[in-house]
Amino acid sequence: METILALAIALLAALFISAPFFLRRGRAGGEEYFPDPRAEKAKELGSRKDSLLTAIKDIEFDYGLGKLSREDFEELHGKYRAEAAGLLKEMDSMGSGNPADGWDDDIEKEIRAERSKFAFSYDDEELEKEILRAREVAWNDSPGRYCPKCGNGSGAEDHFCSKCGAKLGQPTETQNARPL
C-alpha cells in the first residue's frame, strides 16, 4: 500500500516537472525566452521612475522636516526632476513605434502587470491620466516637438513626422497640442 503511495508521489513530481515541456500554451516554441529587450527596458525605466518618485517624495519630506537645507533641496530636487523628465521622454519615445503594432499597449500592459504584483490595484484610468500628465511635463521641458498623431518626437524643423508621416503644423501650435 505504501509502495503505491510512494510511487504515486514520485510520478506526480515527475509529471509536474516535465509539464512545461508539453504544455506550450500557444507560445512560440520553447526558444524565445529572453524577454524582449524593449519590454525589459520599459520595465527597467518604470522601476527607475519608481525610485525617482520615492526619492523626490523623500527629499520633499525631509525638507519639510528641516533636515535638508534650501540649497541642497533645490539642487537635488532639480536634479531628480530633470532625470524624471528625461526618463519619461525615453519611455515615451519607446512607446511610439508603429501604431499598428499596438506596442504602446504592450508596454503599458507589462507595466500594469508588474505593478499589480506589488499588491495594490492600479486604476487604468489613473494610469492614462498619469502618463498624460507626465508627458506634459516632458513636453514643456523639451525643446523639440511631438507628432500629434503618434506622439513621436521630432526635430523643431520637421514638417512631417518621421514615423507615421502625419503633417506637423507650426511650431507654436504643436507645442501645446495634446495628442491622443
Cα 171 to Cα 50: distance, rounded to the nearest angstrom: 32
Q: Which of the residues 98 through 117 are near other proteins (CB under 8 A)?
A: 113-115, 117
Shorter beta-carbon distance to other proteins: residue 69 or 98: 69
Q: Is 147 left (phi over 0), alpha (psi -120 to 50) or beta?
A: beta
Residues contacting other proteins: total by CB under 8 A: 59
- Which one-letter amino acid corresponds to residue 79? K
Among residues 61, 124, 173, 178, the one that binds other proteins under rule CB under 8 A: 61
C-alpha 19 chain-centroid distance: 32
3-state helix, strand, coil in the chain (%, to 5): 65, 5, 30
- Is residue 78 involved in binding other proteins (CB under 8 A)? no
Provide the 8-state DSSP code for 100.
G
Residue carrying C-alpha cell 522636516: 65
- Is residue 27 involved in binding other proteins (CB under 8 A)? yes
- Is residue 125 involved in binding other proteins (CB under 8 A)? no
Shorter beta-carbon distance to other proteins: residue 25 or 159: 25
Shorter beta-carbon distance to other proteins: residue 87 or 166: 87
Do the Cβ atoms of 49 and 87 come closer than 8 Å?
yes
Closest separation between CB of residue 163 and other proteins, Å? 26
Cα 178 to Cα 180: distance, rounded to the nearest angstrom: 7
Near other proteins by CB under 8 A, which window of 42-50, 91-99, 152-160, 165-173? Answer: 42-50
Do the Cβ atoms of 111 and 43 come closer than 8 Å?
yes
- By CB under 8 A, name the binding residues for other proteins: 2-3, 5-6, 9-10, 13, 16-21, 27, 30-35, 40, 44, 47, 50-51, 53-58, 60-62, 64-69, 72, 81, 113-115, 117-122, 126, 129-130, 133-134, 136-137, 140
